[in-house]
Amino acid sequence: MLEEILDGNIQTVDFVKDWEESIKIASKPLLEKNIIEKKYVEAMIESIKKLGFYVVLRENLAMPHARPEEGAIDTGISLLKLKQPVNYGDEKVYIVIVLASKDSDSHTEILMKLVELFQDDESIEELIKAETVEEIRRIVGKY
């Protein structure tokens, strides 16, 4: 399921200058597919500035998101894998997953699959070591 939802929405880069840039890059596929508006990206960044790094869900992984009314047109996710981690506060992050939901319900099934992935230490380690989009697709294809 995640493999289909992430189709065309997976990117890898060597490094980013800061967490804000990681969100902007991770959001690009969703912007290009009109799943989110530019104001959604701005809302994610502003939310973190206001509330702190609550988007770090586990070691090495952050999931920025905003409210549906802040620019989500549809429901979708994108994944950015960094070769060099970026700091989200005191945490080092290699995997940035942007979540967008057009309403309060439509992302529930996606979230359930993401939780399975997030709880699997072995898969997270594999994602961190992954070099290519194809490797990442194979790993997330289990969920």
Whether the CA torsion 80, 24, 85, 111 is positive or negative: it is: negative
Catalytic residue flag (residue 107):
no
Class of residue 50 by CB neighbours under 10 A (exposed 0-12, middle 13-18, buried 19+): exposed
**pLDDT of amino acid 37:** 98
Q: Is the pLDDT of residue 135 over 90?
A: yes
> What does the pLDDT look like over 11-53, one tens digit per residue?
999 999 999 999 999 999 999 999 999 999 999 999 999 999 9
CATH code, domain carrying 106: 3.40.930.10
Cα(36)–Cα(39) distance, integer angstroms: 8
Structural domains of the chain, count = 1
The pTM (predicted TM-score) of the whole model is: 0.96
From the candidates 55, 56, 65, 76, give the one annotated as an active-site residue.
65
Give 31's contacts (C-beta < 8 A, 6+ positions apart).
37, 38, 41
Range of the domain at 109: 1-141
